[in-house]
Amino acid sequence: MHRLLAAVLAAMACASVAQAQEPPPAEAGQSFTLDQALELAGAVSPSLEAASADVRAAEAGRRVAGLRPNPSVTVEAENVAGSGPYRGIDSVEATTSLTLPIELGGKRSARIAVANARSDRAAIQAAIAQADLRLSVVRAYAEAAAAERRLVTARDQVRIATEALRAAQVRVQAGRASPIEVQRADVARVNAETALAREERAVEVARYSLSRIVGQPITGPLDAGWFGQVPAGYGPLRPIESAGTLALAAADADLAIADAGVRLARSQRVPDLTVGAGARRFEQTNDTAAIFSLSIPLPLFNNGRAALSQASAERQRAEAQRRVTALDVDQAIARAQADAANAATSAATASGPALAAAEEAARIARIGYREGKFGQLDLLDAERTLAETRAAAIDALLSYHIAQAQLERLTARAPTTQGENP
C-alpha cells in the first residue's frame, strides 16, 4: 500500500509543481494538441488537488490509527483543609500515580485495518479523479474542434452562396432566368451569413470552455487531424472485462472498509484494562507506600452489540452495492462499445463515400446551373444536401470521440493496491 500511495502522491506532487510554475502558453500559429490540453489541465485541476489532499489525509489517518493510548499521571491530596486534626496540611496524604490503558481484543490492529482500507480507497479515488479529468478534457477539446470545423464549413457555405448569387444575377441579366432566382439566391446567402455568425460565437464559447479547463487562453488552432481520425473498421464487441476497472475497484474498496469496520466493532466489545502504579506519602510520619490499581469497565449498558449490528448491516449494504456496480459497469461498457462502434461507422461513412458523393453532386449542379442545364431548385437541393452531409460528418466525428473517451473512462484500470499488515 505504501508503494501505491507513494506513486499517487508523486503524481499529485508533479501536478502541484507544474501548477506552481505556470505552464507556458501555446505559441500563436502552432496547433494546440490534445496532449497539451491534458498536460495543462492536470497542472491546474482543483479535482486533482482535492484528491491529493485526500490521499495525504488517508496516510495521516493510517499513522494516527497505529498510535497507542497515552498514559495518565494523577496527583491526589487527601486529609487537607478539614477540621480538628485534619485542619491545614499537617495530616496530608499525597498520592502520585501513573495509569496506562491496555487495549485488548485487537483494537489497534483493527483500527489500522480500517485506515489501510480507507487509504486504498483514497488512492483509487485519486485515479478516478484523473480519469474523469481526462474525459472532461477530451470532451471539451472535441467539442471545440467540432465547432472550428463547423465554422470552416459555414465559411465555405457563404462562399458558395455568394457565387450562386452572382451566377443567378448573370442568368437574369442574360434573360435566361426569372428575377425570382436572384431573390432565392440572396436568401440563401443571408441564411449562410447568419449561420456563419452563429458558428463564430459557438467557436468562441467552445474555446473559452476549453481554456477554463486548461487554465490559460487558447491562442493557436486545434489539431484538426486528430479530430478527423476514425478507425478503418470496428469489429465485433470485445469481451466485457469489468474486473479491475475503477468503478469496480472503488466498490471493492468500500467493501473492504466495511469488512474492517465489522472487525473493529467486534474488537470494541472486549473491555480494555487500565493499570496504574504510584506512591503515597504520609506527612505525619514522612513515610511512603506503593499503590497499584487495576480498572475494568463493566459493559452493563453498552456492550457493543448494537455497534456490531450496525457495522454488519453496512457490510451487507457494501456487498450488495458491489454486485450492483458490477452489473452497471458491464452494461455501461457494452453500451459504450456499441456507441463507439456506431459512431465510428457513421463518421467513416459520412466523412468518406457520402461526403464525396454530396460534393460531386454539388459540383455538377453548380456547373450545370451556370450553363443552364439545371434549374436553381436543383442547385439549392444539391447544396442543401452537401451542407447536411458535412454537418452529419462533423456530428458523427464528435460522437465518436466522446463515445471513445467514455469507453476509455469506463475501462480504465485501477491502480494495484497492496494491503499492509499492522
Q: What is the pLDDT of residues 293-341, one digit of tens each?
A: 999 988 888 899 999 999 999 999 999 999 999 999 999 999 999 998 8
Domains, the chain: 131-269+305-411 (1.20.1600.10)
3-state helix/strand/coil string of 17-66 = HHHHCCCCCCCCCCCECHHHHHHHHHHHCHHHHHHHHHHHHHHHHHHHHC
DSSP 85-97: GGSTTTT-EEEEE
**264 near 311, Cβ under 8 Å?**
yes
Per-residue confidence at 21, pLDDT binned at 50, 70, 90?
Answer: very low
pLDDT at 285: 78
Range with top average pLDDT, 48-52, 158-162, 361-365: 48-52
Q: Does 88 score more than 70 pLDDT?
A: no
Average pLDDT, the chain: 84
pLDDT at 29 over 70: no
Grid look-up 502520585 returns: 96
Write out pLDDT tens, residues 133-182: 999 999 999 999 999 999 998 998 888 888 888 878 887 787 776 788 88
Does the reported pTM lie above 0.85? no
| Inter-CA distances, 418 with 1, 72, 249, 253, 400, Å | 4, 37, 13, 12, 37
Distance of alpha carbon 241 from alpha carbon 410, whole angstroms: 10
Structure confidence at residue 382 (pLDDT):
82
CB 102 within 8 A of CB 274: yes
The pLDDT of residue 4 is 45
Calpha distance 20→382 (Å, rounded): 55
The band of 7, judged by pLDDT with boundaries at 50, 70 and 90, is very low
Percentage of residues in the chain having pLDDT higher than 90? 50
Cα pseudo-dihedral 257, 259, 260, 266, rounded to 10: 140
What whole-number distance in Å separates Cα of residue 312 and Cα of residue 389?
Answer: 59
Cell 499521571 locates to 73
Predicted pLDDT of residue 390? 87
Residues 6+ apart with CB under 8 A from 204: none
How many C-alpha atoms does 47 have within 13 Å on its Cβ side?
Answer: 16
Residues near 148 by beta carbon (within 8 Å), at least 6 away in sequence: 203, 206, 221, 222, 224
At 241, list the grid cell: 472485462
Distance, in Å, from the CA atom of 313 to the CA atom of 75, rounded to the nearest integer, reads 45
